[in-house]
Structure 1
Amino acid sequence: MAETTTKTYSVAVGDRRLQLSWAGTTDVGRRRETNQDDFYAEYPLFVVADGMGGHAGGEIASQSTVKRLQAVVATGTVERGAIESALELAVNDIAEHPDTTDEGTGTTLTGIFLEFADGEPHWVSLNIGDSRVYLLREDRLVQVTTDHSVVQELITAGKLSPEEAEGHPYSNVITRAVGASELNAPDYVTIDLRAGDRFVICSDGLTKELTDYGIQHFLRENADPAAAVQAMLAAALENGGRDNVTLIVVQVDDDSSSTSGE
């Protein structure tokens, strides 16, 4: 596994400071020949993209999407309108790429970013597809995002239990993606910025191999984001590594330092 390091950034919240720290990694897994996942983890945006499509389609889609979002961060203004404009550009990039196929080329996208309202920051999660954002708050893990998938629609309609969904033949079929078609805007959820919170942003390559309890366990056992990322990746590979595995851990702590960022 590639070495993973923790990065930090200090954020002013009213009259105090909070320190954000994070780490991320991606791995091809044990059964796939190529890695169609991609991720971006730099303040104030943390996203995971899980590509799909024949030939090199999935890799094209995930990398194009991440590249366009990275450009948004470079402008210094990360907000919903800018993100959606970047995703429209990514759709065009995917459609026009010479190696894009008609085999369902596209990518999921999920993550979090800091949004500022009246100068005060809060988190916003964004989601298209079945990659996920989890939040560990006060030792309770919750799934922030809702999957855009056939089985999730069946669960919501009361036609399928979560337990039945795990082995369902359509468990990998998603209903929304960033791809060579008209873009649906992401779903957004606003979350207050609170010390002690820890986020996990991941592709389904992680959640296929680790239960929610397993994710919570490795967060509890590893205080450093890089250590938590490496522990979860190792467990996912040990449990089969049936898909590409990509994850980011972001955590928030009280910060007594006076630096503005690193």
Structure 2
Amino acid sequence: MHVNALTDVGLVRKDNEDNYLVSADRGLFVVADGMGGHLGGAVASSMAIKVIDEEIREPHLEENPSRLLHTALLKANSLILQQGQSENLCGMGTTVTAALFQKGSIYIAHIGDSRAYLYRDQALTLLTQDHSLVNELLQKGGITVEEAQYHPQRNILTRALGTQVLPQIDFTTTPALPGDMLLLCTDGLSNHVTDQEIKTVLSEESNLKQKVKHLVNLALERGGNDNITVVLVQYE
């Protein structure tokens, strides 16, 4: 398993509220995009990463991987809610998209609008659905894909970790095949770079580091108005 990751503050924001976790030995990869209050977003995303890292320390092959992820995210949610009671952190929360490679499969836990993509056999598949107001409008046919890309409310989330006692978390599982590439990213990438462009970059004859850098540079060239985080894993 090979992996490369990069986070960039972007060209507009002063602080980076994104965080990520890369642990190839455990097959554990996570991106989190914080939100809310002065420094609240950075605190929330950092807490989520820390808790997931602590809860999934070693491969638990006898346990259900989705259950492991669920337990970790619920614990993170509880701690973020508790910490969010303080005045300067009120209203903070975070997206989380986590992937765990176990038992020949990729287990995904997801809440918010960070994304997981699978690149296999020159095809790109989005494994997650954005929990956002704009995506709800899109699914209901209220707006087009083009309108969604530039919608003024595209950053409004309908779900996030740390915003309610019992968060609704999505789970998906897909087989892991040799040569697969898994891409985790925050919306700082997906709001600027289209799926077709992501597919083109992943198909290039370049190493993972070059692919990740190319994707981040594309987002920066389009304005870089948000933090950008990319984690790219190649399964062997």
Normalization by structure 2: what TM-score? 0.90
Q: How far apart are residue 75 of structure 1 and its match? A: 4.0
In the alignment, what sits opposite 2:118?
Answer: 135
Indicate which of 161, 165, 170 corresponds to 1:178: 161
- Residue in 1 that maps onto 2:15: 34
Greater strand share, structure number: 1
Whichever residue aligns with residue 77 of structure 2, its letter is V
- Report 1:89-100 matches (<5 A): 89-97=75-83, 98=86
Question: How many angstroms apart in 2 are the aligned matches of 1:202 and 1:183?
Answer: 24
Q: Which has the larger radius of gyration?
A: 1
Q: Corresponding residue for 2:147?
A: 164
Q: Distance in 1 between matches of 2:87 and 2:208?
A: 36
Q: CA deviation at 1:189?
A: 1.3
Does structure 1 retain, via aligned residues, the 8 Å contact 2:78–2:165? no
Aligned residues: 229
- Find the aligned partners of 2:7 and 2:76 in 1 and give their Cα distance: 21
Root-mean-square deviation (Å): 1.7
SS in 1 for 2:200: helix
Is 1:245 the counterpart of 2:232? The answer is no
Q: Does 1:151 align with 2:139?
A: no
Q: Which moved more, 1:174-183 or 1:79-88?
A: 79-88
Gaps of 5+ in 1: 1-19, 254-262
1:173-212 equivalences under 5 Å are 173-212=156-195
- CA distance in structure 2 between the partners assigned to 1:163 and 1:180 by the alignment: 29
Report the CA distance between 1:219 and its aligned residue.
1.2
Shift of 1:25: 1.3
Does the aligned pair in 2 maintain the 1:37–1:59 contact within 8 Å? yes
* TM-score of the two chains, using structure 1 as the length reference: 0.82
Instruction: Note the C-alpha offset of 1:62.
Output: 0.3
CA distance in 1 between counterparts of 2:201 and 2:192 reads 13
- Runs of 4+ aligned structure 1 residues displaced above 3 Å come to none
Q: Percent identity, please.
A: 37
Where does the alignment leave 5 or more consecutive residues of structure 2 unmatched? none
